[in-house]
């Protein structure tokens, strides 16, 4: 049954990790390693069943293949999940046991933080393996990715504005930003620095007040954000906010934000295109976080990180070109761009050409 699923999803390797004493039940999934070692976060979640955990790790690891490929990284897609409650089940032994499994894969999977995991957990993982990113800055970690993600989102936005209006002057347009959290607040700041008109909402009133007082935004209600007359709708909070209920209300010409999984489903993505709205695919726009941690692999450097964020402009522009070339919605064009890159680089690595796949030897200096 599982092999049948893997035949459809195209996964290369799925590792079930068990350590009774440490209470570890984890699954590591390597989806595709054509571009390089599989990088993707570790999630800890109280899954109701093992099937649910398997489905999640397969879905998330596949997503990382596409995200890393579109980001232009020499990395494949992978993900890991620990079945457990992050509020109750964490221990040194648990994370060290997990780290030993990561180490046993000899660099084919590189782990990172995801939902339910923090930098302290990663410190335990790091005791057992160097195939880890997102550790504390004292170990060469890259720190909070949010400002980078926000800057990358700005690059994606400029590409989308250029595609839609032939004008990427951010300050000439108006924005409805949903969520003024870690990424949203930084993004708002960047928009306001360029003189843009910014409407903002958040369930946390203090954050809205800050956006208004410190950055001069216009506060709107949680539901009102879908009705404001703004050129760009920028989801920076939750997924699924572009859906059957909200889409008919949106007056924007462009959708571009940092949130993951913005489209409720593919049909909505098709409808967005039909309505002439330019959607900048979320996983291309918000790749700043993964780009940042990817740089930890050969020694983190802030300047290289900022330079890398700017490539998001070209990635998103390329997606709009593919959408135009093939007459498809941008969410499909992003997938196509990833698949084309994996196929092209995969061909270069054919053994008869004598070009080996890149390898990863652990954190430099560790
Ligand atoms: P965050 O938790 O700091 O911010 C999210 C904000 O959204 C919070 O302030 C929260 O109060 C608000 N919010 C929640 N529900 C809301 C609602 N219904 N209406 C309005 N506001 C609501 O998270 P973040 O790190 O800023 O990430 C934001 C989004 O970007 C998430 O979807 C995340 O997965 C994605 N993302 C973040 C990064 C990163 O570097 N942090 C990287 C890639 C993707």
198 with 295, same domain?
A: yes
The 3-state secondary structure of 111-150, one letter per residue:
ECECCCCCHHHHHHHHHHCCCECCCCHHHCCCCCCHHHHH
205 with 305, same domain?
A: yes
Specify the 3-state DSSP secondary structure of 2: helix
Pocket of ligand 1 contains residue 202 by CB under 6 Å: yes
Residue 106 CB neighbours (<10 A): 14
Tokens 């209006």 found at: 165
128 with 186, same domain?
A: no
* Residues in CB range of 284: below 8 A, 6 or more apart: 67, 70, 71, 156, 312, 315, 316, 319, 334
Angle, alpha carbons 334-335-336 (nearest 5°): 90
- pLDDT of 214: 98
Please give the tally of structural domains in the chain: 2
Instruction: Work out the pLDDT band at 363, boundaries 50, 70, 90.
Output: very low
Which of these three, 138, 163, 187, is where a domain ends?
138
Asked whether 150 and 186 are in contact (CB, 8 A), the reply is yes
Higher-pLDDT residue of 138 and 340 is 340
pTM of the model: 0.92
Whole-number Å distance between alpha carbons of 263 and 277: 13
Pocket of ligand 1 contains residue 149 by CB under 6 Å: yes
Pocket of ligand 1 contains residue 184 by CB under 6 Å: yes
What tokens does 232 get?
A: 């760009």
Pocket of ligand 1 contains residue 221 by CB under 6 Å: no
Please count the helices (runs of H) and the strands (runs of E) in the chain. 12, 12
Pocket of ligand 1 contains residue 342 by CB under 6 Å: no
Angle, alpha carbons 291-293-299 (nearest 5°): 110
Protein residue closest via CA to atom 27 of ligand 1: 183
Protein residue closest via CA to atom 4 of ligand 1: 181
Residue 354 belongs to a domain: no
Pocket of ligand 1 contains residue 142 by CB under 6 Å: no
φ, ψ of residue 13 to 5 degrees: the values are -155, 135
Tell me the CA–centroid distance for residue 67 and ligand 1, in Å: 18
Which ligand 1 atom lies nearest to the CA of residue 148? Answer: 40
CA 235 to chain centre: 14
Which ligand 1 atom lies nearest to the CA of residue 150? Answer: 40
pLDDT tens-place string over residues 292-323: 999 998 889 899 999 999 999 999 999 999 99
Instruction: Work out the pLDDT band at 366, boundaries 50, 70, 90.
Output: very low
Protein residue closest via CA to atom 21 of ligand 1: 202
* Residues in CB range of 174: below 8 A, 6 or more apart: 196, 197, 198, 199, 229, 230, 231, 232
DSSP string, 247-303: GGG---SEE--S-SS-BSSHHHHHHHHHTT-EE--HHHHTTHHHHHHHTTTT---HH
Pocket of ligand 1 contains residue 201 by CB under 6 Å: yes
List the domain range (segments joined by +) for residue 197. 146-342
Residue 87 belongs to a domain: yes
Q: In which order are the strands placed within the sheet that holds 254-255?
A: 218-219, 197-201, 174-178, 232-235, 254-255, 278-279
Which ligand 1 atom lies nearest to the CA of residue 145? Answer: 40
84 with 224, same domain?
A: no
Asked whether 299 and 161 are in contact (CB, 8 A), the reply is no
Tokens 């009102």 found at: 224
Element housing 25 (H / E) = strand 24-32
332 with 216, same domain?
A: yes
- pLDDT of 237: 96
CATH code assigned at 160: 3.40.50.720
231 with 334, same domain?
A: yes
φ, ψ of residue 27 to 5 degrees: the values are -130, 130
Protein residue closest via CA to atom 41 of ligand 1: 146
pLDDT tens-place string over residues 158-205: 999 999 999 999 999 999 999 999 999 999 999 999 999 999 999 999
Query: So which residues are the catalytic ones?
Result: 79
């Amino acid at each position: 049954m599982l092999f049948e699923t893997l035949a459809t999803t195209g996964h290369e390797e799925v590792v079930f990790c068990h350590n009774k004493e440490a209470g570890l039940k984890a699954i590591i999934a390597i989806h595709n390693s054509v571009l390089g070692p599989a990088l993707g976060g570790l999630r800890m979640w109280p899954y109701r069943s093992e099937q649910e955990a398997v489905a999640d790790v397969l879905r998330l690891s596949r997503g990382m293949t596409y995200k890393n490929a579109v980001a232009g990284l020499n990395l494949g897609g992978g993900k890991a999940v620990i079945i457990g409650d992050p509020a109750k089940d964490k221990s040194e032994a648990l994370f060290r046991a997990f780290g030993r499994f990561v180490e046993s894969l000899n660099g084919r999977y590189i782990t990172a933080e995801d939902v339910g995991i923090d930098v302290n957990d990663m410190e335990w993982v790091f005791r057992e393996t160097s195939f880890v990113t997102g550790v504390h800055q004292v170990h060469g970690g890259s720190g909070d990715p949010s400002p980078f993600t926000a800057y990358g989102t700005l690059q994606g936005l400029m590409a989308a504005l250029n595609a839609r209006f032939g004008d990427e002057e951010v300050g000439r347009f108006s924005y409805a930003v949903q969520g003024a959290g870690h990424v949203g607040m930084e993004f708002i700041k960047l928009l306001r620095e360029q003189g843009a008109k910014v409407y903002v909402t958040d369930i946390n009133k203090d954050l809205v007040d800050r956006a208004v007082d410190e950055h001069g935004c216009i506060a709107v209600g949680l539901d009102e954000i879908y009705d404001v007359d703004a050129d760009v709708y920028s989801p920076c909070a939750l997924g699924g906010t572009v859906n059957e209920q909200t889409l008919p209300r949106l007056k924007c010409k462009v959708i571009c934000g940092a949130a993951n999984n913005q489209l409720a489903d593919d049909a909505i993505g098709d409808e967005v295109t039909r309505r002439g709205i330019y959607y900048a695919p979320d996983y291309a726009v918000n790749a700043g976080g993964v780009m940042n941690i990817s740089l930890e692999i050969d020694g983190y450097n802030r300047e290289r990180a900022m330079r890398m964020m700017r490539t998001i402009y070209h990635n998103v522009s390329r997606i709009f070109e593919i959408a135009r070339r093939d007459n498809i919605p941008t969410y499909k064009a992003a997938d196509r761009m990833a698949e084309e890159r994996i196929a092209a680089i995969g061909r270069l690595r054919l053994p008869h050409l004598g070009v080996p796949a890149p390898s990863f030897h652990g954190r430099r200096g560790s």
